[in-house]
Structure 1
């Protein structure tokens, strides 16, 4: 049976949220969903683009009546007039006014929908969400916030009670999600962001259509698209056109869209004698043909959530000039995809003139845009994952772990100082993880927790719920110091020390992490992977509830310790699924093994004869595949994700060392070029993973129940 989905929106007039909704509907698989669309007003230029398999249901009569203009008098008009008047008397805040009117007047008149849905979605802030909350029966309820909540001057007092009942609050960019989490910290675990859906294939096809307007020969064409409302800043754009005209710039400026300021902006154009320069063309069903024929797309907004127009311009390879509203940095790389200017007419004018006059800059931006793919129809899978597939597999978890330690410890020698400059390179990785709603677990050792820069970084993200701080103990430099009898050249394992020294080292680092961050660590990974019964007993004693030291299929016995006969742990026969380790003191620790796959699959490496021979040899003898980047294993890591997804394991674990995120911080990533290649692979890996996996912290796994069959006593 298909899943029953309801989308609720005001109308399908020209707007980014409406366009994104229609794009999403066109990409959703017809064979999996029975989709209903309810519109308060069945109107708008995007109505013809709704696919045939979407049922535009009839809205309740009272709902249609209450959202008609007052001039269309009907049996609910009196309720509308009185409700609006009283609400405006009580508050001048438009969001509080509409919520008060809805709660006290509108919802009492509107009939509840009789059909039950698997998922119901309120597509914009305000009444659509209120309708889904109050008048729809559904197993799962979602709401979309297509804007910067603070920039749009929304008010938490209007939405808090409704968001409380939503299963997910979805917004359109990382910046918008951060704003929402600041306004609604109590809901941060159900706030996520998914990009507006933009199909590059459809855009490019439709961009080739002709337009009716004539483009004057010898003039540059500027195009802007948006509703004619104050927050879009078109008054500044028209003032900028006046400056450019005075500077002798030859151009035409087409503004596509409709709204309350149409007459006022037209009057401004006439007053500034710009009728031959700036034209308000009204809404266009196919704006892509205009964008594609332009030289520059200009966005003069005072705020945006995530601009659909900018995505469309990038897909069509048109350089952009945009004002510096808060979220613009999520969409434009300055000097590569466009220019970001101050929010005033003079700067807008000078930005456009710079684009026209600096041909090298213009060509650089054009080449960059044309070399990149900005369409994201593949992101539909993220929406499908959120909504849930009919008969599909449940979403699995991805755990991101980082052994957070000093710089290039592979080359470190006893007696040398340990530096921690890699802390300056961690924020980029953190932001990449959060972009895909993954939550890095920073397993932190002694030298890192002493670095004030690291403490400031990790504490911020951990307190925001975007990361976790755990413990990672290297015995050789973790106080208290103790001299072992050296018989071998290996670095010492914690399990080589006397029991009381082991305990003292664990206690010291645990206390230090809490003292420095105010956060009690509950997750752990052993330095050099080695564990034993005493180790787990001590972890449990000091409040650790989850460990991730076990590496299935891997035997570390050839990795020597420092004392006579000491070596690493043998995990070659270890379980590859979580299990509880009961200790002699009656407590337990949840072991969450690293994801490692034993495989004979051939991954051809043809960059050299040596690499080709190595790949064939690994396939013949079998090798262990980790989700651990080495600069040349993206396909292997994706393969492990795929195999884990179809297995009975409910998570996959990624790992990396913090120093590998810094140029020269490891033998693997020696320079900036290799780091950029690493991040290219990480971006591809996380985007791939986000379709089938969702992020989780180790500490959250500790709350999941394990069956008695998965217990192991040491």
Structure 2
């Protein structure tokens, strides 16, 4: 596990899967997407600055090559009020040498040379258009593979945040993160590449058996739902998308009690507009999303948990 400098304490970081809009209910394709929500990133950036939070924008190819995104993000990135990372959606990232399929939507399933070339073109687009070198990476659909970390080390990206602990995507061709740690760990012996997993916890009196019990209830959603309603066992990812603020506060408290040094919060940028994701369908939903952020920030502050950044995380690890 990664050790941090004594004064680092417990922190949180906000990560934004900054991506194109597309219909989540339909099969993926290369052209049926939009970028209408991109100007709304400015409002979220202003909101975060008011909370003394520097968000991490994990940018995919349509965003990296969007002039309006550069207008919104370039200055906050240059001043350190935000950070940028890479998010690879292979179905919209050139070169398009692979068949379009669910299996190939996980970039780690691609041939090593193709995964590298897609990453390289995206990395170059980000540095050229947004004016900042990416400090972290998240595979689209959390789709890391056996060659991914070699690519990150080649390009000097120090943090991978693709692992979604307690989740298993192997049924559709993705990775199985079910048994991975919740705390950050070093991927390589040189300690040049850190895994910073998205934060998910089990809550309830049965949480000690959650890793064993929850997967066995996957084909029994009614039982899983009943256990959640009766407060016996609940899996809580730290996101405003589909997670109430009450659940999130319970999750944050569990994460802190477990001693997690960094709580990784995440959501998708199209949720900043109405009608682009299943989670924000109306203005009331959008107001609720911003209220979720206000309340989780306030709760974390009440627990003496301060915001952090990729740069601070790596500096604190180097000083441990």
Q: TM-score range by the shorter chain?
A: 0.7 to 0.9
**What residue number does 2:244 align with?**
633
Partner of 1:407, secondary structure, is coil
- Output aligned runs, 1:173-184, within 5 Å: none
Alignment of 1:437 with 2:48, yes or no, is no
CA contact under 8 A between 1:631 and 1:674: conserved in structure 2?
no
Task: Check conservation: 1:403, 1:657, Cα contact below 8 A.
Answer: yes
Instruction: Report the 3-state secondary structure (helix = DSSP H, G, I; strand = E; otherwise coil) of the residue aligned with 2:128.
Output: helix
Considering only aligned residues, what root-mean-square deviation do their CA atoms show, in Å? 2.6
Query: Is the counterpart of residue 657 in structure 1 residue 271 in structure 2?
Result: no
| Cα distance in structure 1, aligned partners of 2:205 and 2:58 | 31
Residue 569 of structure 1 is aligned with which of 153, 175, 184? 175
Distance 1:409 1:463 in 2: 33
Inter-CA distance 408–476: structure 2 relative to 1 (3 Å threshold): closer
Q: Which residue of 1 aligns with 2:312?
A: 700
Contact 1:581/1:591 (CA < 8 Å) preserved in 2?
yes
Aligned residue number for residue 278 of structure 2: 667
Provide TM-score, normalisation by structure 2: 0.84
Are 1:631 and 1:677, in contact at CA under 8 Å, matched by a contact in 2? no
Looking at structure 1, the residues matched to 114 and 262 of structure 2 have their Cα atoms a distance apart, in angstroms, of: 35
Q: 1:706 to 1:636 in 2, by over 3 A?
A: farther
The Cα shift of 1:432 comes to 2.1
Question: What's the secondary structure of 1:570's corresponding residue?
Answer: coil
* Aligned with residue 598 of structure 1, among 196, 202, 206: 202
User: How far apart are the structure 1 equivalents of 2:277 and 2:299?
Assistant: 26
Distance 1:535 1:580 in 2: 15
Instruction: Return closer, same or farther for 1:615/1:417 CA change in 2, 3 Å cut-off.
Output: closer
Partners of 1:707 and 1:600 lie apart in 2 by 36
Partner of 2:92: 477
Matches of residues 314-713 of structure 1 in structure 2 within 5 Å?
A: 395-411=9-25, 413-484=28-99, 489=102, 492-558=105-171, 560=172, 567-582=173-188, 588-600=192-204, 616-618=226-228, 622-630=233-241, 633-691=244-302, 692-705=304-317
Shift in alpha-carbon separation, 1:649–1:706, aligned structure 2, 3 A: farther
Report the CA distance shift for 1:573/1:631 in structure 2 as closer, same or farther (over 3 A).
closer
Bigger Rg, structure 1 or 2:
1
Supply the distance in 1 between the matched residues of 2:63 and 2:31 (Cα, whole angstroms): 16
Using the TM superposition, give the Cα deviation of residue 519 of structure 1 relative to its aligned residue in structure 2, in angstroms: 1.0
Shift of 1:438: 1.4
Contact 1:401 1:654 in 2 (8 A): yes
Report the secondary structure of 2:316's partner residue.
Answer: coil
Using CA pairs below 8 Å that are at least 6 residues apart, which structure has the higher relative contact order?
2
Aligned residues: 296
Verify the 8 A CA contact 1:402 1:441 in the aligned structure 2.
yes
Structure 2 match to 1:143: none
* Aligned-residue offset at 1:648: 2.0
Structure 1 contact 522–544 (Cα < 8 Å) conserved:
yes
Q: CA deviation at 1:418?
A: 1.6
In the alignment, the residues of structure 2 paired with residue 620 and residue 535 of structure 1 have an alpha-carbon distance, to the nearest angstrom, of 38
Corresponding residue SS for 1:533: coil
Deviation at 1:621, TM superposition (A): 6.7
8 Å contact kept, 2:53–2:307: yes
